[in-house]
Amino acid sequence: MGDEAVPFDDRGLAYGDGLFETVLVRDGQPVLWQAHMARLARGADRLGLPMPAAETLNALPGRAEGGLQVLKLLLTRGSGGRGYAVPDTPRPRLRWRFTPFAPMPRRWREGVHVRLCHLRLGHQPLLAGIKHLNRLENVLARREWQAPEIAEGLLRDQQDRLVEATSMNLVWRRHGRLETPSLTACGVEGTLLSTLREHLPIHACDAGIDALVEAEAAWVLNSVQGAWPLARLDDAQGGCLKRWSMGTEHRQLQRHAQALLGYPASALGEA
């Protein structure tokens, strides 16, 4: 397994018929591992994929070298079936790879510049929340900009409701209330977001771009990079919609995220 070649007839390659997880590993210890495995299991149940044995999955993080690594897991339905028809007895294929990782503390401290994307996400409630291999919408959205100062693009659905960033979730504080887009129709439920919601009152809602313009603070976040506060939001044409100054209102959520991922609070510029 590991980096072995994937056969031409693998259904993940041919149809995106599978799932993936991207896990931060610190000195051989996976971060938010139970949340990642729970999401993988939800996705497998949704797609009708047998899960790999728990002992196989649990042994993988220990293969990492020291320091920070990112473990990417790919689980496909394997080979077989005719066309889109799935095989009667699937034989899932598990692949993985470790990549050295270095976080970007400057983005934690100073915030990031993001923009709206032209692309609108389609609705498919059956796939909403899970991390399936069909990510062409995200790929097309990421092609919309090349400017290095833009850290992320924000995605909306066909009704112009906020959903997520291209590779991160979105949270904002408006009128003192933490909010995040509803992910019942599309989008990925990130493991950092789901874990933060166990510790903080983050309310899922349907909201348009006005919610961000009204927000006192906002963040994009995932389980590898942590929480980046937004410093500037542009529209899809590059016009500035909002600027935020970094202040104490940005730090509470970040402190929780840092603690969950094992990053130091001092990296936020705090004592």
pLDDT in tens, 36-53: 999 999 999 999 999 999
250: enclosing H helix or E strand:
helix 248-261
Can you tell me the mean pLDDT for 59-71?
Answer: 93
Residue 130's identity, in one-letter code, is: I
Q: Where are the beta strands (DSSP E) in 166-262?
A: 169-174, 177-181, 202-205, 217-222, 226-234, 240-243
pLDDT higher than threshold 90 for residue 265: no
Model pLDDT for residues 123-135, shown as the tens digit of each residue: 999 999 999 999 9
Nearest to 157 by CA among 180, 132, 124, 113: 124
Are 227 and 257 in contact, with CB atoms under 8 Å apart?
yes
CA angle 170, 176, 182 (to 5 degrees): 35
pTM of the model: 0.95
Nearest to 172 by CA among 111, 259, 118: 111
Q: Which residues contact 105 (CB under 8 A, 6 or more apart)?
A: 267
Are 96 and 72 in contact, with CB atoms under 8 Å apart?
yes
**Mean pLDDT for all residues in the chain:** 95
How many other CB atoms are there within 10 angstroms of residue 13's CB atom?
17
Nearest to 194 by CA among 185, 205, 208, 204: 204
Model pLDDT for residues 224-256, shown as the tens digit of each residue: 999 999 999 999 999 999 999 998 888 999 999
